[in-house]
Amino acid sequence: MKYLLILLLAILLFVSCVDNSKTSNQTDSETAENDTENFPTFQIYGELLPVDCLNGENSITEKYGFRMERIAGCNVGVFQAIIANINNKVVLEKMNIKYGKNWQAKFENETGYKLWIPLD
C-alpha cells in the first residue's frame, strides 16, 4: 500500500510539473529553445553503464527526439530510483506512440550506440 501511494504521488508530481503552453509574449526562437528543453528525457543512474551504451549524449539523442539525463551515480536513493523508473516508463510509452515500438533498434543501428534505460 505504501508503494502504491508513493507511485501515485510521483505520477502526480510528474504530471503537474509539465508545462507545454506557449505564452503570447514568446517569439518563435524562444519557442524553439523551449522545445529543445522539453524533449522527453530518460533519467539514467548507476556507476557504470554496460559497454557501448550511451551515457547522456544529448547532441546525438536530440536528433532522434529525446534526451538523456544522468541523475545520480552509484549512490542513488530508493525514492530517486523509483521516480526515475516511473519517469522512464512514461517517456518510453510516449516515444513508442510517437515513433513506433522499434524506435530503439533504429536508433542503435543508425548511431552505433546502445541505449540502457532503467525501468525497474
pLDDT tens for each residue of 77-103: 888 889 999 999 999 999 999 999 999
Mean pLDDT of 95-119: 90
Q: How many other C-beta atoms lie within 10 A of the C-beta of residue 87? A: 21
pTM of the model: 0.64
pLDDT of residue 21: 43
Residue 2 lies in a domain: no
Return d(Cα 14, Cα 107) in angstroms, integer. 26
Q: What would the grid cell of residue 24 be?
A: 503570447
Q: How many other C-beta atoms lie within 10 A of the C-beta of residue 1? A: 5
Return d(Cα 31, Cα 95) in angstroms, integer. 21
Return d(Cα 9, Cα 98) in angstroms, integer. 26
Residue 111 lies in a domain: yes
Return d(Cα 62, Cα 75) in angstroms, integer. 27
Domain of 70 in residue numbering reads as: 40-120
pLDDT of residue 77: 80
Residue 6 lies in a domain: no
Domain count, the chain: 1
Residue 115 lies in a domain: yes
